[in-house]
Amino acid sequence: MTIFAVDIQALSGGPADMDRYRGHVVLVVNVASRCGLTPQYAGLQALADTYADRGLTVLGVPCNQFAGQEPGTAAEIEDFCQVNYGVTFPLTEKVEVNGPGRHPLYRGLVGDGPDIQWNFEKFLVGPDGAVVARFGPQTDPRDVELIAAIEKLLPPSDHPATTLDRTEDGPSDLP
Give the active site residues.
Answer: 35
**Within 10 Å of residue 23's Cβ, how many Cβ atoms?**
12
Tell me the C-alpha to C-alpha distance, in Å, between residue 103 and each of 42, 90, 96, 109.
26, 17, 6, 10
Q: Which of 23, 88, 32, 86 is nearest to 56 (CA)?
A: 23
32 contacts: CB under 8 Å, gap ≥ 6: 38, 62, 63, 64, 66, 69, 70, 119, 120
Q: Which of 16, 15, 18 is nearest to 129 (CA)?
A: 18
Q: How far apart are CA 17 and CA 40, in angstroms?
A: 25
Question: Do residues 32 and 38 make contact, with C-beta atoms less than 8 angstroms apart?
Answer: yes
Determine the distance from the C-alpha atom of residue 41 to the mean position of all C-alpha atoms in its chain, rounded to a whole number. 9
Cross-strand pairs, 31: 62
